[in-house]
Structures are given as C-alpha cells and as structure tokens.
Amino acid sequence: MCGIVCYIGEKSAKQILIEGLKQLEYRGYDSAGIAVHNGDRIEYCKAVGKITELEAKLNGRKMEGHTGIGHTRWATHGEPTEINAHPHMDQEKKLFVIHNGIIENYYNLKKKLEKDGVVFVSDTDTEVLAHMIARYFDGDLNKAVRTVMSEVEGTFGIAVIHQDAPGEIVIARRGSPLVIGVSDNGYFAASDVSAMVRYTKKVVHLKDNELATLTRDGFAISTAQAKRVERDTETVEWSAGDTDLNGFPHFMLKEIFEQPSTIENAIRGRLEPGEGVPKLGGIMPVWEKLKSCRHIVIVACGTSYYAGYVGRYCFEKLTEVDVEIELASEFRYRKFNFPPNTFIIALSQSGETADTLAAIKEARRKGASLLGIVNVVGSSIARETDAGVYNHAGPEIGVASTKIFTSQLTILTLIALLIGRHQTLPLTEGTEAIREIMALPDRVQRILAQANHIQAVAEKYHKYPNWLFIGRKFNYPIAMEGALKLKEVSYIHAEGYAAGEMKHGPIALINPDMPTVAIAPKDDMYDKMVNNIQEIKSRKGPVIAIITEGDERLKKIADDVIEVPPSLDFLYPVLTVIPCQLLAYYCADFLKRDIDKPRNLAKSVTVE
Ligand code: G6P
C-alpha cells in the first residue's frame, strides 16, 4: 500500500527520493509525490500514475535541496487524483506531510478546522494532519507533531517537513511501519527497508507511539510523552541485488524460480536428520508451553491464509494438537473459547498486515500465546509475538505471493514435526519426514524445469474466462491458492473448491468452456480425485491435472497433465502449488497484464 521514503544528508534529495519510490512501487499505488526543502523554502511535485509520470513532470526542474520526503499513495479516502496525492500541505504551503494509514476521527477534526476557517482542498484524511501540525507549530516541529499525535485516532506512519524548520524531518508512527536508515552521507526514513537498502543496511526500527527528528548529523527518538529512547542499529540481511530482476522479465517469475533456494533457506541449520527433530531457536522462548500445547489457531490473510490452511492438515497429521484456521479479518468477530495453553500462529510475509496484527492483539487480550512466521525481520508482527520463525526468503516484490507461500509451508511443517516428535510421532516417521523435506528443493527444481511445458498449457487455456481448481485434504488449500493466484495476476475468474463439493454446486458450471485444474497427486485422496475428474470429463469439461510423475492412468483421462515428483502426502502442497503459480504467471503474460503490480492490489495491506 502507501509507501514513505525520506532523506536528509550531504547528497541531493530529489534523485534519492525518486529511486526510493521506485523500490516501493511493488507495494501498490496509484499516485506519487515528493517535497524538497532547498534551505529557503519547500518545492513539491505530485503526479497520478506511475513514478515515471512524476519523473516526467520533474523533468527540467532542479528541485535542489538535501532534505526531502516522498510518497506513493494507494487511494483510500478520495480518488487517485493529483490533489489527493501526498505530500499534503497547510494553507500557507509551509508545512508538508506524507502519511500511511488512516486517521479514523478525521471527519470530526476536519469539521472543527473548517469552523475555524480552514479551507480543505483534498478529499483525504491526511490533510487534517497538515493543518493541525501547522497550527501547533511554534518553531518546534517535533513538539507540534507530538501534540497532534495525542489528538488523532487511527493508524499512521508520517513524515513532516516545515519551511521554518530547515534541516529536519520529523517522523512518527502508530500502527504503520517506519524504519530509520543510517548511512555515511545522511539519514533515511522509510516504510520499508527496500526503499533504502541501496544506500544502507544499517537500520533502526521505530516502535508504535514513537517519533523521531532526523537531521544531517543524526536522529533522536522519543516517545509520544517526550521521553528520550536509545536504540541500537540493526543490520538488514537484504542486499540491493535482491530487489533487481536479474534478467527475469518479472519479479513474480524470478521469485517462483527462487523457490529451491528459499525453501533451502527455510530449512538451513534447522534439521537434525538422525533425531528426526527440527531445531528452531526462535521458538525456544515458549517451548516448554508449546510442546504440551493441544490447541492452535492459525491466523493470516490472502496467500498466507492458504499456507495456514495446509498447516492445519499438517499439524493434524503430525501432532496431537487441534488446529483451527481463521481469516485474520474475521478473527475479531468470532467468540473463541480458548482452552488453557492455546497458541496463535500468525503467518505474514510483510509482518505488517493490519488485520493479522489486530487479530494477534485481540488473541493476546484473551490470554493466548503468540507465535509468528514472518519474512520481514523487525516488522510489527515479529515484534508483537512472543516467539517465532523467520522465513529468511529475501524481499518478495511481486504483489502475488509465491516464494513466501512455499517457505511458510516448509516452516509450518518443521514446527508441526518438532511438536509431533515431542508428543507421539515415532522416530522413524520423523527421520523419514526430514529426509523428504531435505529433498524438496531438488524436487521443486524438477518442476521448474517444465516451465516451457506449463507455458504451452497456459497458451492453450488463457482465453477461457472462468476456471475451476479442485483438490482434497492437503491439496484443497492448493486449489484455493491456485485460483487466487490466477485471478490476482490474470484477472481470469477462478474458484478453488474442495473436490468433494463438486456435486453440491460447481459441477453445474462444467461444460467445454470451463477448464478445471485438478490437483491429484498419488496420496490417499487419489482414487476419489480420479472419480471427480471422470465426472468432469463425462460433461466435456477440459481438465488440466497436476499428477505424480508416471501416473499413466490420469495421463489417459486428463486433457493436459503437469507432473510433480513423488513425495509424502503432507509435503505435496509445496510441489503441487508450483504448476499453479506458473500457470497463473504465463496466463497473465499471454494476456499482457501488469503482473508484478496487478490492478487494485497492494503488496502489504496496512489498513483494515
Ligand atoms: C496482500 C498481498 C498478498 C498477501 C496478503 C497477506 O493481499 O497482495 O500477496 O498474501 O496481503 O500479506 P502478508 O504480508 O500478511 O503475508
């Protein structure tokens, strides 16, 4: 969603801001803008559409200055127009603010300001911040921001500059991430480290209800009550190359092809083959409680939710734990009766998804212990949970999640195996599981080697407007994830169904114009899946079957097949999802979609 990047230092700010905004493009946005303080006054520029539009408008404009703020906006309050784009400013055009999040009481604040004669020019909630901070400003920008923090409700990550406070940027957060970057030639602030990883890997995370003043010589963090905070810098693992395409036409394809190594990263140093037990240092702080736990609720959104869904089957297979899976956005509206020693597992690539964050806060209130499986180190969900496991998968730039999904599946399996081995799972099953987990990267590689074949299947079917995905048990969530992937990037309508539900509705849709992707590896659901496929074929529905290598029976029945190597039933999803990802990618490519930034979608959904 919206992105923030700020710079103050020896270098000229304009180009650094533009480069930073380009690194944030993947988050999803519909307009952008920057403001630069040139020592005397502040110049700004905004544009609707891509950063290239902003660059075109800036072409020929010098906009010199060493202090600046930049923003990509994903419209919530007000359409994506230039007026609604950030930065927003006060009436005198002296104060400029950029904002991620939503000011929930903006309507009342706006009415109050209007009564005092303030004229609003945009439809945004952010504009109230500009007018309010400007009104409180008496030479101390940090104090003015602090005062406004106590009056606004909602979520925000903001950055503010003022004409009469040259040489400083004030940033503040509540519920919306902000990271300070420390480099040899200046200081950065951004909503996401990828905006500054080109310039520095040394970062300091701001916590909720904290603010900071950045100058050319340093930064000072304080709480909203003006209490000074000392915090050491951390070094991020990501490098500038991680955010490059490296010869791939799209990040989505690059990330699909990274999966052998991201799965490897998820298991590196975490397996003890002889003992049949994984080692997960990150969950040791809660291990005594976790090993005897009998109830887990997995919460997540989007693709992470479907990973959690597979995780449920996995826990049921390997442990004695009862597992529920709940959409984070629904979690708060349920009435859970948590038995004692319930664990919540929150899955999130970004670690910033607003609903997932809200769900774990609610679960904490109800007394549950919290585990996180998160990719972004130091993110809000990583901080809010009691313990957890990082994906170590590098930045995921494509809006449609791919490599994180298989990484999440791998880590969920490790956690289930660890608990299972301390409950009733025998050694032989533990060692077999570990052997098979270690084989996953090579097996994924074997599927990727069939990319040309999968591309040919996509070429044959990409013009069909409606698709069905079906699977059972471990592969039921893969059917849902396969359908999600296809609709996200190709805009083809697709539904993911439990194959056992076919007769309760979806079979009515089957005809020669409705292809079905049937996920039917050789597990204990195989025979039932073959029956479903036969039923579809009897109604002349085209079938693309994802099968285990050498399955001659389904090769004869299905119109097209994509083979995956043999595996254990609970590990098949790591393999069967790869053809679904590639099918979605190639269909979108044939349809010339904006694959890495599909319309209306955002990488990180930081508002409810
Ligand atoms: C957005 C993204 C999805 C992602 C979901 C959950 O919708 O477009 O790709 O799966 O958020 O994000 P999270 O960061 O919590 O995994």
Ligand 1 centroid vs 27 CA: distance in angstroms? Answer: 10
Atom 2 in ligand 1: which residue has the minimum CA distance?
603
Concerning whether 587 is annotated as a catalytic residue, the answer is: no
**Ligand 1 contact, 349 CB (< 6 A):** yes
Ligand 1 centroid vs 171 CA: distance in angstroms? Answer: 26
d(CA 116, CA 118): 6
pTM to 2 decimal places: 0.85
pLDDT digits (tens, 9 = 90+) for 104-115: 999 999 999 999
pLDDT digits (tens, 9 = 90+) for 187-223: 999 998 989 989 999 999 999 999 999 999 999 999 9
For residue 350, which atom of ligand 1 is closest to its CA? 14
Ligand 1 centroid vs 155 CA: distance in angstroms? Answer: 19
pLDDT at 152 over 90: yes
pLDDT digits (tens, 9 = 90+) for 46-80: 999 999 999 999 988 889 999 999 999 988 778 88
Ligand 1 centroid vs 308 CA: distance in angstroms? Answer: 13
Q: Under CATH, what is the fold of the domain 3-240?
A: Glutamine Phosphoribosylpyrophosphate, subunit 1, domain 1 (3.60.20)
Ligand 1 centroid vs 408 CA: distance in angstroms? Answer: 12
Q: In DSSP terms, which residues pair with 3 in a beta bridge?
A: 72
**pLDDT at residue 76 in the model:** 79
The secondary structure of residue 396, as a DSSP letter, is -
Decide whether 3-240 matches 245-438 in CATH topology: no
Ligand 1 centroid vs 260 CA: distance in angstroms? Answer: 21
Provide the percentage of residues in the chain whose pLDDT is more than 70. Answer: 100
**pLDDT at residue 202 in the model:** 95
pLDDT-derived band at 416 (thresholds 50, 70, 90) equals very high
Domain parsing of the chain, residue ranges: 3-240, 245-438, 449-595
**Ligand 1 contact, 414 CB (< 6 A):** no
Concerning whether 11 is annotated as a catalytic residue, the answer is: no
The larger pLDDT score, comparing residue 606 to residue 150, is at 150
pLDDT, mean over the chain: 95
Provide the percentage of residues in the chain whose pLDDT is more than 90. Answer: 87
d(CA 330, CA 300): 10
d(CA 608, CA 598): 20
User: Per mean pLDDT, which range of 96-100, 274-278, 450-454 is the poorest?
Assistant: 274-278
**Ligand 1 contact, 605 CB (< 6 A):** yes
pLDDT digits (tens, 9 = 90+) for 82-121: 999 999 999 999 999 999 988 999 999 999 999 999 999 9
Mean pLDDT, residues 326-339: 90
CB of 71 closer than 8 Å to CB of 32: yes
Mutate to test the pocket of ligand 1, among 604, 606, 607, 608 (most ligand atoms within 8 A of CB): 604
pLDDT digits (tens, 9 = 90+) for 522-546: 999 999 999 999 999 999 999 999 9
> Which residue's structure tokens are 């950063």?
51
Residue 36, both tokens? 């630069």
d(CA 445, CA 459): 22
d(CA 358, CA 509): 38
Mean pLDDT, residues 389-403: 94
Ligand 1 centroid vs 192 CA: distance in angstroms? Answer: 15
Omega before 87 cis (within 30°)? Answer: yes
Mutate to test the pocket of ligand 1, among 353, 376, 406, 407 (most ligand atoms within 8 A of CB): 353
User: Per mean pLDDT, which range of 241-245, 341-345, 439-443, 515-519 is the poorest?
Assistant: 241-245
**pLDDT at residue 280 in the model:** 94
Pure H helices in 491-571: 526-538, 552-557
**pLDDT at residue 585 in the model:** 98
Mean pLDDT, residues 222-245: 87
**pLDDT at residue 161 in the model:** 98
pLDDT at 242 over 80: no
Number of Cβ within 10 Å of residue 117's Cβ equals 7
pLDDT-derived band at 166 (thresholds 50, 70, 90) equals very high
pLDDT digits (tens, 9 = 90+) for 458-489: 999 999 999 999 999 999 999 999 999 999 99
**Ligand 1 contact, 375 CB (< 6 A):** no
Number of Cβ within 10 Å of residue 594's Cβ equals 13
**Ligand 1 contact, 126 CB (< 6 A):** no
CB of 96 closer than 8 Å to CB of 69: yes
CB of 290 closer than 8 Å to CB of 283: yes
Atom 13 in ligand 1: which residue has the minimum CA distance?
348
pLDDT-derived band at 604 (thresholds 50, 70, 90) equals confident
pLDDT at 452 over 70: yes
Query: Of the CATH numbers 3.40.33.10, 3.90.1150.10, 3.40.50.10490, 2.40.50.500, which one belongs to the domain with range 449-595?
Result: 3.40.50.10490
Mutate to test the pocket of ligand 1, among 176, 298, 304 (most ligand atoms within 8 A of CB): 304
CATH of domain 245-438: 3.40.50.10490
d(CA 231, CA 218): 13
d(CA 304, CA 58): 39
Catalytic residue among 2, 45, 293, 314: 2
d(CA 56, CA 58): 5
Count of alpha carbons within 13 angstroms of residue 574, beta-carbon side: 35
Selection from 218, 178, 183 nearest residue 198 by Cα: 183
d(CA 6, CA 490): 34
Q: For the purposes of burial, counting CB atoms within 10 Å of the CB of 136, is it exposed (0-12), middle (13-18) or buried (19 or more)?
A: middle
CB of 601 closer than 8 Å to CB of 28: yes
**Ligand 1 contact, 263 CB (< 6 A):** no
pLDDT at 240 over 70: no
CB of 484 closer than 8 Å to CB of 306: yes
**Ligand 1 contact, 400 CB (< 6 A):** yes
The secondary structure of residue 175, as a DSSP letter, is B
d(CA 384, CA 533): 45
**pLDDT at residue 275 in the model:** 86
